[in-house]
């Protein structure tokens, strides 16, 4: 079935919102994250700051070294969420189905509304105009025949971009001789694996599919398809109630009997769950712990909460309580999730401040991370951004398993 999909992504999102609200920041290198003397990483930065080599995920000290004249600010998440709700309203008005990927990004199925390619082009430009006039921000829009191509198209002319990829053939021609990293599911680590296997470009993926599948398995098969422009995934409307739970799990390379280490692993998994929940602006009213023992028997234990949370500290505390209540036998897999999800604003009561004092939670988290640092000699607080990525998360936990000492 032929579809027309728009991918829209805001430019330098957090930074652009701050610049919109304080015109003195315009034209200057602006870094959103922490202040230079604090521990932390860059959430994002203005395009002026990017010219100095600053980018998302970079340690803030490194950003300061590259760009000492930059203006450093903390993020205002509540503000970005409010802006995101406004954006959603605009996006939804043009789509039969709209799939929000994060606060600043969505796929829109405009096949019906657009009728034809000309109509899709009109919608793409309307979204850009309305975003600028009604919200005061620029975005980049990609119009294409598939989700993968639409995402590629929105990246293509960033910032304030507009680009079309009408057919699979256009898509393939565009990326054929680019590095494999151009495919958005290929991160630094996957790229390295492919490079090590002698696969540099998208063309190499097409010409050596067996090598790609051998080194990446299922993901490799997907990449081979994409290298031919094949992607017929539909736009799946993201309604919070559609998701049953948000979780992270980890299979160890060796069986684990050490329950102190398992608790430490739970903290990292909980941090990753928190980040994912916040990305979709969701909270859960319960926590589930899952264990697979070495005989492959799996158990899961849940605790309902009388309030909704996405806090890593709360998730961790509940998961540890659950772990303390089960049989201590060697395990192969551990996972933690939150369930009974609702949008972040729902489920908030006046009790919230009492139940989840943010400052106190921050202090507790700092404390927990310091304890980890002592135990494993890793700077966890400074590398949260990496921990949020599944590949690095699993690597870090494996490292901890091998280096545990009291
Ligand atoms: N973000 C974050 N940490 C990251 C990446 C992103 O906190 N490692 C936040 C800040 C960004 C927002 O999410 O403003 C959107 O992320 P994008 O990757 O879309 O980046 P930007 O919108 O900032 O810039 P671009 O213009 O490249 O899309
Ligand atoms: Ca963006
Ligand atoms: Ca984005």
Span 272-308, pLDDT tens digits = 999 988 877 788 999 999 999 998 899 999 999 998 9
Q: Is the pLDDT of residue 239 over 80?
A: no
State whether 246 and 358 are in the same domain: yes
Measured in Å, residue 295 CA sits from the centre of ligand 1 at: 43
Q: Is the dihedral of CA 70, 137, 127, 238 positive or negative?
A: positive
| The Cα angle at residue 88 between residues 83 and 94, in degrees rounded to 5 | 140
Q: Which ligand is nearest to the CA of 58?
A: 1
Number of domains comprising the chain: 3
Higher pLDDT, 258 or 348: 258
Verify that 64 and 180 share a domain, yes or no: no
Summarize pLDDT for 34-52 with one digit per residue, the tens: 999 998 899 999 999 999 9
The model's confidence at residue 350, banded by pLDDT at 50, 70 and 90, is: very low
User: 163 in a domain, yes or no?
Assistant: no
Residue 149 falls inside a structural domain: no
Same domain, yes or no, for 247 and 217? no
- 140: in domain: no
Whether the full predicted model's pTM is greater than 0.75, yes or no, is no
Residue 33's pLDDT is: 94
List residues with catalytic annotation.
Answer: 105
Q: Does residue 18's CB lie within 6 angstroms of at least one atom of ligand 1?
A: no
- Considering every ligand atom shown, identify the ligand nearest to the alpha carbon of residue 11 and give its number: 1
Ligand 1: does its nearest atom lie under 6 Å from the Cβ of 43?
Answer: yes
List of E strands, 276-378:
282-293, 298-309, 331-343
Q: Does 297 lie in the same domain as 339?
A: yes
Which residues contact residue 364 at a Cβ distance below 8 angstroms, ignoring those fewer than 6 apart? 313
Q: What is the mean pLDDT of residues 394-400?
A: 93
Q: Which ligand is nearest to the CA of 102?
A: 3
Grade residue 19 by pLDDT with cuts at 50, 70 and 90.
very high
If we measure between CA atoms, which residue out of 218, 208, 149 comes closest to residue 184? 149
Residue located nearest, by CA, to atom 21 of ligand 1: 12
Tracing tokens 């489920």 back to the chain, one arrives at 347
Q: Are residues 353 and 208 in the same domain?
A: no
Q: Which of 78, 92, 65 is nearest to 8 (CA)?
A: 92
* DSSP conformational letter for 45: E
Report pLDDT for 2.
86
Q: Answer yes or no: is pLDDT of 224 > 50.
A: yes
Residue 253's alpha-carbon distances to 8, 257, 400, in angstroms, are 39, 13, 12
Residues 351 and 268 in one domain: yes
Alpha helices in 164-296 (DSSP H): 168-175, 188-196, 202-207, 209-216, 218-227, 259-279
- Please tell me if the CB atom of residue 158 comes closer than 6 angstroms to any atom of ligand 1: yes
138 lines ligand 1 (CB under 6 A): no
Residue 235 has pLDDT above 50, yes or no: yes
Round the average pLDDT of the chain to a whole number and report it. Answer: 92
**CATH code, 200:** 1.10.150.20
278 C-beta closer than 6 A to ligand 1? no
User: What is the per-residue pLDDT across 364-382, written as a single tens digit (0 to 9) for each?
Assistant: 999 999 999 999 988 888 8
The larger pLDDT score, comparing residue 182 to residue 404, is at 182
CA of 7 from ligand 2 middle (Å) equals 11
What's the 330 CA to ligand 1 centre distance in angstroms? 40
CB-side exposure of 135: number of CA atoms within 13 Å?
A: 28
Quick one: pLDDT at residue 344? 60
Which DSSP category does 50 fall into?
Answer: H
| 249 and 395, same domain (yes or no) | yes
Q: What is the reported pLDDT for 220?
A: 94
What whole-number distance in Å separates Cα of residue 284 and Cα of residue 131?
A: 31
Protein residue with least CA distance to atom 6, ligand 1: 43
Q: Is the Cβ–Cβ distance between 5 and 107 less than 8 Å?
A: yes
Model pLDDT, residue 348? 45
- Is 127 a member of any domain? no
DSSP 201: B
Q: Quick count: other Cβ atoms within 10 Å of Cβ 342?
A: 16
Cα of 64 from ligand 1 centre, angstroms? 18
Q: Domain range holding 53?
A: 13-76
Any idea which ligand is nearest the CA of 100? Answer: 3
Neighbours of ion ligand 3 (CB under 5 A): 9, 104-105
| 104, 105, 160, best to mutate for ligand 1 pocket (most atoms within 8 Å of CB) | 104
Q: Is ligand 1 within 6 A of the CB of residue 159?
A: yes
The verdict on the CB of residue 36 being under 6 Å from ligand 1 is no
pLDDT at residue 349 tops 50 = no
From the CB of 104, is ligand 1 less than 6 Å away?
yes
189 plus 315 within the same structural domain: no
Residues 256, 182 share a domain: no
More confident residue, 241 or 256: 256
Q: Are strands 245-256 and 331-343 parallel, antiparallel or unpaired?
A: antiparallel
| Residues 336 and 269 sit within 8 Å (Cβ to Cβ) | yes
Residue 10 CA, ligand 3 centroid: distance in Å: 7
The reply to whether ligand 1 has any atom less than 6 angstroms from the CB of 14 is: yes
- For 367, counting Cβ atoms within 10 Å of its Cβ (0-12 exposed, 13-18 middle, 19+ buried), the class is exposed
In a domain, 176, yes or no: yes
The mean per-residue pLDDT over the stretch 61-77 comes to 97
Statement to judge: residues 279 and 208 lie in one domain: no
Four-CA torsion 374, 377, 382, 388, nearest 10 degrees: -100
Three-point CA angle 51, 55, 57, nearest 5°: 170
Give domain status of residue 371, yes or no.
yes
- Which ligand 1 atom sits closest to the C-alpha of 42? 3
Confidence band of 240 (pLDDT split at 50, 70, 90) = low
Task: Tell whether 278 and 383 lie within a shared domain.
Answer: yes
């Amino acid at each position: 079935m032929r579809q027309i999909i728009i991918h829209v992504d805001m430019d330098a999102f957090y930074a652009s919102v701050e610049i919109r609200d304080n015109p003195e920041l315009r034209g200057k290198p602006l870094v959103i994250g922490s202040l230079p003397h604090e521990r932390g990483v860059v959430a994002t930065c203005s395009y002026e700051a990017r010219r100095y080599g600053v980018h998302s995920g970079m340690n803030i000290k490194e950003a300061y070294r590259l760009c000492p004249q930059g203006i450093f600010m903390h993020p205002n998440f509540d503000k970005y969420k409010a802006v995101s709700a406004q954006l959603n309203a605009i996006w939804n008005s043009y789509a039969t189905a709209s799939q929000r990927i994060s606060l600043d990004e969505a796929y829109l199925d405009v096949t019906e509304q657009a009728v034809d390619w000309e109509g899709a082009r009109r919608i793409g430009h309307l979204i850009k105009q309305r975003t600028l006039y009604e919200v005061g921000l620029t975005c980049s829009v990609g119009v294409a025949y598939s989700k993968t191509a639409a995402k590629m198209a929105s990246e293509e002319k960033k910032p304030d971009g507009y680009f079309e990829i009408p057919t699979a053939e256009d898509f393939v021609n565009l990326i054929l001789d680019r590095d494999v990293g151009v495919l958005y599911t290929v991160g630094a680590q996957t790229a390295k694996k492919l490079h090590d296997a002698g696969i540099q470009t998208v063309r190499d993926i097409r010409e050596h599919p067996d090598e790609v599948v051998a080194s990446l398995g299922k993901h490799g098969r997907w990449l081979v398809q994409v290298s031919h422009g094949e992607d017929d995934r539909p736009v799946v409307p993201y309604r919070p109630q559609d998701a049953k739970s948000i979780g992270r799990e980890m299979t160890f390379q060796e069986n684990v009997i050490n329950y102190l280490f398992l608790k430490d692993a739970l903290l990292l998994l909980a941090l990753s769950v928190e980040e994912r929940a916040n990305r979709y602006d969701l909270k859960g009213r319960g926590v589930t712990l899952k264990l697979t023992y070495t005989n492959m028997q799996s158990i899961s234990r849940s605790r309902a909460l009388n309030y909704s949370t996405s806090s890593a500290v709360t998730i961790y505390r509940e998961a540890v309580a659950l772990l303390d209540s089960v049989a201590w036998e060697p395990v192969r897999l551990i996972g933690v999730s939150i369930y009974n999800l609702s949008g972040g604003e729902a489920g908030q009561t006046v009790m919230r401040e009492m139940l989840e004092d943010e400052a106190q939670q921050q202090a507790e988290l700092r404390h927990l991370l310091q304890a980890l640092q002592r135990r494993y000699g890793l700077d966890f607080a400074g590398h949260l951004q990496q921990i949020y990525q599944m590949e690095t998360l699993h690597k870090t936990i494996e490292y901890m398993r091998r280096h545990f000492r009291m």
